[in-house]
Chains A and B, each alone.
Chain A
Amino acid sequence: MSAWRLRVKLRSATGLLVSTRPTQRHTSPYGPLTLCRSLSTGSHLRNEFFKDLEAQLAAFRKKAADALPGSSWSPLQINPNLPPERADIVIVGGGVLGWSIAYWLKQKEMVRGGVRVLVVEKDPTYSQASTVLSAGGIRQQFSLLENIHLSLASADFMRNINEHLGVLNEDPVDLQFNQSGYLFLASEEVAHIMEENYSTQRYAGAKVSLLSPTQLKQKFPWLNTDGVVLASYGLENEGWFDPWTLLNAFRRKAISMGVIQCCGEVTDFKYTTDVLRTASGDTVDLKRIGSVKVQMPNSLEYQPVECAIVVNAAGAFSGKLTEMLGIGSGPKDSIAGIPLPVEPRKRYVYVVHCPDGPGLDSPFLIDYSGVYFRREGLGGNYIAGVSPEEAEEPDTSNLEVDYQFFEEKVWPCLAHRVPAFEKLKVTSAWAGFYDYNTFDQNGIIGIHPLINNMYLATGFSGHGLQHSPAVGRAVAELILDGNFKTIDLSNFSFRRILTQEPMLEINIV
């Protein structure tokens, strides 16, 4: 009996070792001649052991490699998505401006690894981010010199984008830039503003031309020049591009230069306060951020990141960030009582299809009523929208689109301006947030007066994307060089909000 069983064992061993069949058929080692299954549990377990032998050996090899020095195994289970415990600069907000600042910081550092930069973005799908929901236009037709210079510098950057953001052995960046220019139409009342702006733009070096209604009709026969007295047309460096490509180009290059990316939300700050006393006896609290609490998504886990500098590039949600530091909750007549005047404002963008619309030469047209449209692709699709009145601002708790708004506010002006648009069809629409600066609708760049190490780069109210390369460079200069070096943006500092001197864009819309 035992000898027979021994032979069974031997045969089973040899049979299984010799014949490595991939199919796990539970045949007995005797072949098709047996009439019944083997009843012994011992041999069954031994068969499975030999079948798993390869996997067991691989696991053993891995365990041995982990045990040797130089491996990254540790018995403590650490979440790999946590940000590092210490970073030099934490950039809150992973939109195009945040990544642009990260790229320029790494570009300007003097030694490799000179600054440790961490970019914290709470939503890696960018579902509510202003960057990817933008119409993607760039223009130099502003009234403030700083804005024109920022646009020109950004256009220069995009022209040489592969020189700046090209990564070795990766595909070149293709922004899909449409060089179509912007066309502003002015009515009788605002024509003088347009002429003044034209001379400022020319002085700053922008290539813009003024057109009379007859020239307009000649150039764009599909346009209805009713009520138009003057038009300003961009000849060069103006058009639209793909914002997602720009964001990813910045991100790819910054990560290749060593910027650390973290998906999480900044929920708290740890700061120290210096209480100073003014001559009249009032106290001023100067805060210094010591660490940032980054909370992981959908989890209670968090990591406090010690940092030297925090950059607020959170876009539409920047106001909430400064609220955490107590800005805006002080007494009304003190500096601490002035909140950061940036709040989200919802803007709708409608995609329409019109087969007889303007062709390849259609620019980004902005009417004096505020309605704008631009061509999208080659199939007769256009993107249109308008900025709503102050009193009729839509609710910002979600990104739902109101199609009634299109029919009431956008379509009439559009059809009046371009008669072909009387027959159009709305194919889709989306909504995005402007990081709207309620004070003067221009960006706020610089250190906050009450928080010693928080740099603000927000509040661009719809121009953030087109200025992002130049603003990123400016903020990096501010942090690393101490002052602006290429474009002087000291007029955009927080000071103007304290002194209540708005830097308004005197545009015709």
Chain B
Amino acid sequence: MSAPLTSLHRCCQRSALLLHVARQRWSSSSASPPPLHTRLLLFLTQRFYDVEMLLSWRSQLTRNQLQKKNAYYGYTQRFYGLDLASAYFILSLKGGFRFAGQSEWFYADQKGKFSWDFLNHKDTLLEEVDMSYTVINYRGLCNLEGQRSLRTLKLRGCPEVDDWLLARLHVFQDSLEDLDISHCPRITTGGLAALRNLKGLKRLDVSSLPGILSPGLVIILLEEMLPQCQITATGYDYSLNDAQGEEEEEHMQRQR
């Protein structure tokens, strides 16, 4: 099908976004000095209130834009029903989904354009949702809450997925079977503890999570917590040398 090919295409396109996110995430712990314009801005911020205000406005603006993207699609829900609203939300965020009982995927392309054919399927629940590399966050998940028969949820490489979103996944505890949260920079061990509610989970992908500090131990504890689940955890450096930390290399495949 075209679905794996499109997903690969999007993966390559969005790797740039991920590297940028990873750089931002680890900027405080990296040893190299920041570039000149950053240092100049920092110098000015520490001396002038105006510069500080402009920069805080800029960060406030990016946050507001993010929250707008993840807003509650109340009007859509009222006029088109819960499922079409969820579908529209997914497509607006450049994700993809598949209806229950259908076999074709609906995707939005790079520029955000998508076909409106999904409107023909009224009141059909969603079965698989692919929100990889989108900016979905905790607020946005409320648009998907009505999907009680959701089987697959892919959140690979989402920069805004954090522990609180994982805690909210308990609404899908009866139906969710496949969860992919690899490469999400904000997830930590505390969030993985929230997956205890998803007792029906069969496949879980927790590869390359930079927020986990002792991945070997955490994976073992996860396997104990979810005995029926097949956990994929690649991209971790399991060597005994503590000084190295985690690097993005394909090493071991841990599968049950």
> Which A positions have Cβ atoms within 8 angstroms of B?
159, 163, 166, 168-169, 171, 174, 176-180, 207, 219, 235-237, 239, 359-361, 378
Contact = CB atoms under 8 A, between A and B. Distances in A.
B196 A168 contact: no
Given A159-B138, A168-B45, A360-B196, A176 B225 contact: no
A219 B199 contact: yes
Contact of B193 (A159, A169, A361): A361
Contacts of B194: 179-180
A120 B130 CA distance: 52
B199 A177 contact: no
A168 B192 contact: no
Given A159-B164, A219-B199, A236-B170, A168 B191 contact: no
Given A159-B164, A168-B45, A168-B59, A378 B221 contact: yes
A178 B163 CA distance: 8
Contact of A168 (B52, B163, B167): B52
A494 B188 CA distance: 42
Contacts of B8: none
Contacts of B138: 159
B164 A359 contact: no
Given A179-B191, A378-B214, A360 B225 contact: yes
A178 B189 CA distance: 7
Contacts of A360: 189, 192-193, 196, 218, 221-222, 224-225
B170 A178 contact: no
A166 B62 CA distance: 14
Given A159-B138, A179-B163, A378-B214, A236 B190 contact: no
B219 to A, nearest CB: 10
Contact of A169 (B45, B164, B191, B197): B45
Interface string B166-190: 1110100000000000000000111
A166 B224 CA distance: 36
Nearest to B194: A179
A166 B193 CA distance: 25
Given A159-B164, A378-B221, 19 more contacts: A168-B45, A168-B55, A169-B42, A169-B45, A177-B190, A179-B164, A179-B167, A179-B194, A180-B190, A180-B193, A207-B170, A219-B196, A236-B167, A239-B190, A239-B193, A359-B221, A359-B225, A360-B224, A360-B225
A445 B28 CA distance: 40
A235 B63 CA distance: 27
B221 A236 contact: no
B168 to A, nearest CB: 6
B70 to A, nearest CB: 12
22 contacts: A159-B164, A166-B59, A168-B45, A168-B52, A169-B45, A171-B28, A176-B188, A179-B164, A179-B190, A179-B193, A180-B196, A236-B170, A359-B224, A359-B225, A360-B196, A360-B221, A360-B222, A361-B193, A361-B196, A378-B217, A378-B218, A378-B221
B166 A179 contact: yes
Contacts of B222: 360
Contacts of B192: 360
B56 interface: yes
Nearest to B46: A169
Contact of A163 (B63, B190, B191, B214): B63
Contacts of B197: 235
Nearest to B51: A168
A169 B214 CA distance: 28
A26 to B, nearest CB: 44
Contact of A176 (B42, B190, B218): B190
B27 to A, nearest CB: 9
Contacts of B221: 359-360, 378
A360 B197 CA distance: 12
Interface in B89-140: 138
Interface string B23-41: 0000010000000000000
A101 B28 CA distance: 29
A176 B192 CA distance: 12
Nearest to A169: B42
Contacts of A159: 138, 164
Contacts of B214: 378
B181 to A, nearest CB: 14
A168 B42 CA distance: 9
